[in-house]
Amino acid sequence: MSENFGEPISAGAAPRTRDSGELTLKFDTGFDLRRIERLLQQARERGGPTPESVCTLNLIAIFFNAGQYERARETLEVAGQIHPCRLVVVIGDPLIEQESLTASASVSRSGGAITIERLVLSATGRAVRHLESAMMGLLRPDLPRVVFWGGRPHGDLMRRAVESADRIITDSGARPAAYLAELAKLLAKGAPIGDLAWARIFPWQGLAADTLDLPNLREHRGNIRKARVVCAGAVGAEGLLLLGWMQSRIKRLQIQILAEGESEAEEEIVASSTCPRPAPMGLGQVKALEFEAPPATFTVRREKGILVANVKGDDDGYCANRVRLPPETPGRLLALELKLLSGYDDLYAQAAQAAAGLLASVRT
């Protein structure tokens, strides 16, 4: 599977230079939480009197090398501005033999208050075993814990952190489609998983549902027989989830998923624009959704930054609606997922279970 499969979680983000206000400590044998707390306090006090700190959640981001964090950095920052948090980034790279332990602290301010308290814990070699307990000790009490799972699991590392989370957010769209099967297993056990690929198909779901709410098309609601999803270049998680969602909502639905054409090049959409735009259609993302309720056929397709819903067989060529895809700023999808801070997303779980079932019939 290609490395650029789907949309990376840091879509459109240029790596940020490190804040000049970042303070760093190195440790020899293990982390010292009191020193890290003091470091954070120093970061708070930089630049004058300490402003109030606003915090609505603990956002824990887990990576297995520094590059992964750099790619996701802006996504986390933007989401953190919208949902003020203590951001604890954990970077563990056991593949580097030499042991090292560092912690850095910095803050971001907004509206006269500190809105992100940022702690970055890094470890390499055998020292990665210290990361989990250090991270757990640095979380703010009484606030929801959301884990942003941006890397791949390495054995049991971080298992306790993930198991104790109120919510785990991943991006199946940035992984091979088979990853959905792993997610489906976890969801079946009740894991509170959120998925950026799921957030990415909200506009498709909304428009498909809106079309069936139009007064002259409501008569077709009970008669949906077939559904087909077309992905760009290869079958990806978004397409599988969209089809899985349709299948979980409508009994005895005949389904088909296929890949057609190619993904969009970045420059096709991101012109010299001053406003955030929908991200280009990445490899494996959804190009079109069709569903048949004889004699009517509904089509929702993507035309650059616009979703167009058409109906044939009722009033021929009837354009039900055209909606703009929301702007794809880094972090918007994560911020969207962070609106749900705890609990189990039933609709997603059902869609993911159905999507996992489709995998066998799909050559990705």
DSSP state of 292: E
163 binds other proteins (CB under 8 A): no
Among 38, 249, 301, 312, interactor with other proteins by CB under 8 A: 249
Binding mask 193-222 for other proteins (x = CB under 8 A): ---------xx-xxxxxx-xxxxx-x--xx
Q: Which is nearer to other proteins, 130 or 167 (CB)?
A: 167
Number of Cα atoms under 13 Å in the Cβ half of residue 9: 31
Element (H, E) at 287: strand 286-293
Number of Cα atoms under 13 Å in the Cβ half of residue 31: 30
Binding mask 48-77 for other proteins (x = CB under 8 A): ----x-x-x---------------------
Q: Which is nearer to other proteins, 95 or 306 (CB)?
A: 306
**CA proximity to 249, closest of 285, 215, 283, 209:** 209
What order of strands is seen across the sheet that includes strand 113-124?
Answer: 23-27, 100-110, 113-124, 85-93, 57-63, 145-149, 167-170, 193-195
Of residues 325-364, which lie at the interface with other proteins (CB under 8 A)?
325-327, 335, 340, 346-347
Of residues 260-289, which lie at the interface with other proteins (CB under 8 A)?
271, 273-275, 278
Length of the chain: 364
250 binds other proteins (CB under 8 A): yes
Can you tell me the distance from the alpha carbon of 202 to that of 173, in angstroms, rounded to the nearest whole number? 14
Q: How far is the CB of 315 from other proteins (least distance, A)?
A: 10
Cis peptide before 295 (omega within 30 of 0): yes
Q: Which is nearer to other proteins, 188 or 306 (CB)?
A: 306
Query: What phi and psi values does residue 256 have, to the nearest 5 degrees?
Result: -150, 140
Q: How far is the CB of 109 from other proteins (least distance, A)?
A: 9
142 binds other proteins (CB under 8 A): no
Q: Which is nearer to other proteins, 265 or 319 (CB)?
A: 319
Using alpha carbons only, give the angle 345, 341, 173 rounded to the nearest 5 degrees.
Answer: 60
CB 61 within 8 A of CB 158: no
Q: Which is nearer to other proteins, 98 or 274 (CB)?
A: 274
Q: Which is nearer to other proteins, 65 or 81 (CB)?
A: 81
The residues that touch other proteins, with contacts defined as CB under 8 A, are 52, 54, 56, 80-84, 110-113, 115, 202-203, 205-210, 212-216, 218, 221-222, 224, 246, 249-250, 271, 273-275, 278, 306, 308, 319, 321-327, 335, 340, 346-347
